Amino acid sequence: MTQTNPMQDHPDWDAYDDYTGPEPERIIDDPALPFTLHDDLVPIDRNGMYVPNHLDESGTLHVFAAVDHTDRPEFDSPVVHLSYIRAMETEDGRLVYDKHPVMPLADMSDQPFPRQTLDLMLMDGDLENAQELAHQTARSHGLAFPEHESLPPLDTAVRYDFAGGVEDDGSPALLAVKSWREGSVDREQRLTIASYGMAAALDVDLRELDEVRDGFGLQTAMNLAESMAVASGYLHDGRDDTRLFTEGPPDPFTTNAERERAAEVFIGDAGELDTEELPAAQPAPSSIYAQWAADAQSRREANMPLEGAAWFEATFADNAKVDLLQPINDTVNYAVVVTDSDPWTTELMVEKFWREPGGYVGSDSLTIDTYDSDDEVQRDVAEAARATLLGIHEKRGLEAMMHQAELGAMENRYLDGDRADTRLFHDGPPDRFETLAHRVEGTPNLYWNTTGERIESPRDETQELPAVTPERVYLLDEADMGQPAPDSWDALIAAQADEEPAREAHYWQMHYRPVETPEGEPLGTALFVTAFPQLPPDFDDYIDEFGMDDTVYPTEARTLEMAHFASEVDAKKFDAEFRGYLVSGLLDGPELAPEVAKLEGLSGEWQDMDYDDIVGYMSGRRTVVRAESEWHLHNPNAEREAEMSSAGIPLLSDEELVQIEPDDPAPTPDFDL
């Protein structure tokens, strides 16, 4: 029988001559993880068993697994802990992860409560409640585990920055810094660009490199930095490795050396073919930088003839990052800004500006608070805090706003309340306001201790201090304060002055709970204040240092429902505004919360919590059930409407506003604004 070859009969068929069998399974094996990752991040433990997990929409893997912490000195006994692990594979092939210990284990196979519950929550996709339960469990064992709202996304970015440094001989140096995360470790590579005899010269080049990056992009800035490094002798233009950074993920820019090497290869391949069309030449980075410097000099020269406020207006007209407080002064001006001070930190600051010789801008700044740059919610909180300061400036003026900024910086440990130099800004012309520290200079400083620290004095040395009211926080004159409108924030704060002395300060928290109807329809988010009379105000610091045990577990608590919001983001913005009116030791959250709740249409009454309520609170049972008739959505215009009502201005509905004819003259209120 004759055998035929079907491939000869069908030459159009693909013979798959290059087929070598199925592709091998892709496995990621990091020795620091208790499992390997197969294909699409499927975790398999070291015994070959599947590990329950959840892979979210962003491609982040969530796992609870036993981890041996022998390499961590803080876990000397026991060394095995159940840990919450998040992992993600980046586009450039890096595996990035973090680990948060939840509870100690007897060994790797130990299954105490709530380990299986946490696994089931992940498998069901109930990530938020799994994180909340892990947080509460970790706190009960004295372990630091962030609340789920505070867990930032995994940092997979590669960042490039310019910074100042110091050479081995002590001279100032300008550095280019590349930073990235690999595994659970933050890494960086630093390249010296130039060194200087004086720090002032370094500051000039550092500022110009930052401005080139902001104005022309990373490619131009890095090419300029490379040229400076070659000119300074820290790089060789004929180096074998043409990269600027030799470590970490691939860089998203092309170096001058790479471009020149590619041109040499092209010319070598093309030979003498001078008729061949060459790619369009790109302008050299130095010429772009020169053009940028010329433009800046041209703007300075154009503004030189201007004086006073006109010079400030022209100089800051194109600066989108700085909005000077109005009205603009002829000599010194201020701004409240939210800015990224480094790749990981966002700062809330007040800045001071003045004119230097030659038309340059002089500046100084004071940090009020810092936030995590990767957390969008924290960014919103920072913007809300900025809006609060601007609102104080609009209603009470510059000095009142600076007093609030001074208190905030003191409470957040960015300013010493008992400092010898009472100024907020140390450079530039004299300020247009008097600081709180200067006003109480020579007297017992009422603002040195914003955290509530107590110092016991012998009976014969105790002396009576001046009485303090909340208005004293701003130290305003009568004309500055004015008459607060009823049912406004100002009235709520002022009302505290006539009340009985507040009870001794204790621990309290603000927290958010999703709300739904009895039928299960979502309504929004409720903001609660919960107070624990048995616990000291610094209870969080105590837990971080000593951990949680039965001797400090609270048996008394009370809670108050303060406001309703459409979303948790809105609730957190209100939270930030609310905290902006508090001053530790003078006006605390539990004192102000009932009045705010009444302004929001709620009862404003504290509800005592029994043991079951406290356990439910600690275990994170989050959903609250309310009838729609009990839901009072926060009205951000409530204060303005209260002021209009007290002034005799009628409040019009939307329909009435539409019916007003455009030609009708606006009603003139019968009072003196």
Rounded Cα distance, 57 and 124, in Å: 14
Task: With CA atoms as reference, report the closest residue to 224 among 171, 295, 176, 158.
Answer: 176
* DSSP letter (8 states) at residue 61: E
- Taking a C-beta distance cutoff of 8 angstroms, is the pair 346, 376 a contact? no
Q: pTM of the full predicted structure?
A: 0.42
Task: With CA atoms as reference, report the closest residue to 424 among 359, 345, 358, 368.
Answer: 368
- Taking a C-beta distance cutoff of 8 angstroms, is the pair 480, 399 a contact? yes
- Residue 458: exposed, middle, or buried by beta-carbon count in 10 A (0-12, 13-18, 19+)? exposed
252 SS3 class: coil
Q: List all residues 6 or more positions away from 160 whose beta carbon is below 8 Å from its beta carbon.
A: 176, 177, 178, 218, 222
The amino acid sitting at 151 is L
Cα separation values, 166 from 146, 199, 230, 342, 559, Å: 36, 10, 19, 19, 53
Q: Give the CA angle between residues 386, 391, 392 to the nearest 5°.
A: 100
Give the per-residue pLDDT at 233.
Answer: 86
Rounded Cα distance, 509 and 216, in Å: 46
Report the 3 state secondary structure along 408-460: HHHHCCCCCCCCCCCCCCCCCCCCCCCCHHHHCCCCCCCCCCCCCCCCCCCHH
The CA-to-CA distance between both ends of the chain, in Å, stands at 113
Give the per-residue pLDDT at 481.
Answer: 42
Rounded Cα distance, 368 and 334, in Å: 14
Q: What is the mean pLDDT of each run of 10 residues along the chain (673 residues)?
A: 53 56 82 91 92 93 89 64 94 92 90 93 93 93 88 91 87 92 92 86 86 89 91 85 92 90 72 56 52 71 90 87 91 92 84 88 89 85 91 91 90 82 89 86 53 47 44 38 48 50 71 88 91 83 66 80 90 85 76 89 89 68 81 75 60 49 43 32
